Chain A
């Protein structure tokens, strides 16, 4: 089933005007921020398809900037996010891309972390009603919806890594709803994405990080409603 629960129909709570071009874009930006794990120093945003044609009218640019500031879809600061990003020390540029893209509403992000200087690329698509799919992270094919608490594990590709990851999940009583793995080459770098039923705890993340061959563990969680700030 494409739509799994009542809140994918009634919801999300969001700042308008478009669930696909505003709320979906904000969620893609926020997912990217969480994968990067810190505020970006630089963000290069490239829009494709319908995003490229209408991003100004829909505030898609502001939505991406807001997401990169870790704002939820209904955060009242979203319309002012480009100014807020500048204040926070983020340099952000917007452009229109050419060539192949996977969906009419596609955005590609190239980010540089403020503290670590880490560079990252991410491609996201907005598939309707605020629902998204992140399809590429750093050249790895993924399928990340953000509907569930998600753990991303960067590791080396060798025999038994996945078994050790799922062992940790079982010990901690974390059920895996969806899983994908992609690798750059045999015995090379790999990325595993796990969608969980429950939010990951600090203890779980610590155990995963301690596994041999695991290079990094990141969490994406886009759920929750912003309490109205007055």
Chain B
């Protein structure tokens, strides 16, 4: 890849007169040696898997093997349809879809890791709800996934994208930044605005620890995906409105690295602290280890 930072990415987009998604497709093809058509086709298959996961999570039983989670997406959707939700329709829809994919993941269904399975709901939640709302075609969405991938590529190589290394900020935080930047571009924002959206989003999740109850990708992972989708919409709106990340996004990514590196091991996916070690978290873990 010919860029290592988000500012280099924005400059390169300017030089080649391309959006982030189109530029990433060119770069990916050059890296893999496969044609742009082939790479685009692979990403289109991935988008298909995301759609299936949303569909499944909204209609099928998603009770997890542990029995701790499932069907919250359908609860939110039913409430959205019957009542006047505080968020309003579109954000509520994104939240429901994000929960749906995350619940499919927890019940051993098929998903796309974006960038990880723990954060797999956020991008599908934002993308599918916006596709329905704005009437975008699939190819437009697939190009958006390349934009999200470009942003994730920079975050992953300058910081981290796994909870074991950098806490939840690295998983859910990265996914929110990727979704926010991609959505900003899809809504007509410039590459520079998309980069601001990433920084704005990441600042909101800095310090978030990874403390899964029982070590499972369920509590609090699933609801954090729901919240994450809503945050991504908010960050995109701020960037499109002209709000800037005064601390440049690349510097925010370095802060994520600093904070994650200083995070104690008990807060990095070991279930040794946080929610996992509350009295209730400990009781759940004990029940999981010694099933009745």
A residues near B (Cβ < 8 Å) are 1-20, 22-23, 50, 53-54, 56-59, 74, 76, 78-79, 104-105, 127-130, 197-198, 225, 228
User: Which A-chain residue is minimally distant from B45 (CB atoms)?
Assistant: A225
Is residue B146 contacting chain A, with contact meaning CB distance below 8 A?
Answer: yes
| B117 and A16 form a contact (CB under 8 A) | yes
Cα distance A11–B111 in the bound complex, in angstroms: 9
| B112 and A13 form a contact (CB under 8 A) | yes
Given A9-B115, A13-B45, A198-B33, also A57-B214 (CB < 8 A): yes
| B110 and A17 form a contact (CB under 8 A) | no
Of the residues A5, A58, A76, A228, contact of B216 by C-beta under 8 Å: A58
Cα distance A78–B43 in the bound complex, in angstroms: 23
Collect the chain A residues with CB atoms within 8 Å of residue B4's CB.
1
| B108 and A3 form a contact (CB under 8 A) | no
Is residue B292 contacting chain A, with contact meaning CB distance below 8 A?
Answer: no
* Chain B nearest CB, measured from A196 CB (Å): 11
User: Which A-chain residue is minimally distant from B222 (CB atoms)?
Assistant: A17
User: Which A-chain residue is minimally distant from B216 (CB atoms)?
Assistant: A57
Cα distance A56–B65 in the bound complex, in angstroms: 10
Cα distance A78–B152 in the bound complex, in angstroms: 28
* Chain A nearest CB, measured from B100 CB (Å): 13
B residues near A (Cβ < 8 Å) are 1, 4, 24, 28, 31-33, 39, 42-43, 45-46, 49, 52, 64-66, 104-118, 120, 123, 145-146, 148-150, 152-153, 156-157, 160-162, 164-165, 178, 214-218, 269-271, 288
* Chain B nearest CB, measured from A103 CB (Å): 9
User: Which B-chain residue is minimally distant from A4 (CB atoms)?
Assistant: B31
Given A13-B46, A104-B164, A129-B161, also A78-B112 (CB < 8 A): no
Collect the chain A residues with CB atoms within 8 Å of residue B214's CB.
54, 57
Collect the chain A residues with CB atoms within 8 Å of residue B110's CB.
13-16, 74, 76, 228
Collect the chain B residues with CB atoms within 8 Å of residue A4's CB.
31
Cβ contacts A to B, 17 pairs, < 8 Å: A3-B157, A4-B31, A5-B32, A6-B149, A9-B148, A12-B113, A14-B111, A14-B113, A16-B109, A16-B110, A19-B116, A20-B164, A23-B113, A54-B216, A129-B113, A129-B162, A198-B33
* Chain A nearest CB, measured from B291 CB (Å): 9
| B117 and A14 form a contact (CB under 8 A) | yes
Cα distance A1–B2 in the bound complex, in angstroms: 12
Q: Which 4 A-B pairs have the closest CB atoms?
A: A128-B162, A16-B105, A54-B215, A6-B149
| B112 and A17 form a contact (CB under 8 A) | no
Cα distance A30–B104 in the bound complex, in angstroms: 23
* Chain B nearest CB, measured from A58 CB (Å): 7
Of the residues B43, B112, B217, contact of A18 by C-beta under 8 Å: B217
Collect the chain A residues with CB atoms within 8 Å of residue B269's CB.
50
| A130 and B218 form a contact (CB under 8 A) | no
Collect the chain A residues with CB atoms within 8 Å of residue B31's CB.
4-5
* Chain A nearest CB, measured from B278 CB (Å): 18
| B215 and A19 form a contact (CB under 8 A) | no
A17-B64, A130-B116 known; 15 other A-B pairs, CB under 8 Å? A2-B156, A3-B153, A5-B32, A6-B39, A10-B113, A10-B115, A11-B46, A11-B113, A13-B49, A16-B104, A16-B108, A19-B162, A50-B164, A58-B217, A197-B33
* Chain A nearest CB, measured from B51 CB (Å): 12
Collect the chain B residues with CB atoms within 8 Å of residue A15's CB.
108-111
| A10 and B114 form a contact (CB under 8 A) | yes
Of the residues A6, A13, A197, contact of B24 by C-beta under 8 Å: A6
Collect the chain A residues with CB atoms within 8 Å of residue B24's CB.
6
Given A50-B215, A198-B33, also A17-B115 (CB < 8 A): no
Cα distance A6–B269 in the bound complex, in angstroms: 25
Collect the chain A residues with CB atoms within 8 Å of residue B33's CB.
197-198
Cα distance A158–B175 in the bound complex, in angstroms: 50
Given A6-B28, A57-B216, also A16-B120 (CB < 8 A): yes
Collect the chain A residues with CB atoms within 8 Å of residue B148's CB.
9-10
| B216 and A12 form a contact (CB under 8 A) | no
| A19 and B118 form a contact (CB under 8 A) | yes
Cα distance A74–B271 in the bound complex, in angstroms: 26
* Chain B nearest CB, measured from A49 CB (Å): 9
Cα distance A4–B113 in the bound complex, in angstroms: 16
Cα distance A54–B213 in the bound complex, in angstroms: 11
Cα distance A13–B104 in the bound complex, in angstroms: 13
Cα distance A74–B111 in the bound complex, in angstroms: 8
Collect the chain A residues with CB atoms within 8 Å of residue B145's CB.
10
Collect the chain A residues with CB atoms within 8 Å of residue B270's CB.
50, 104
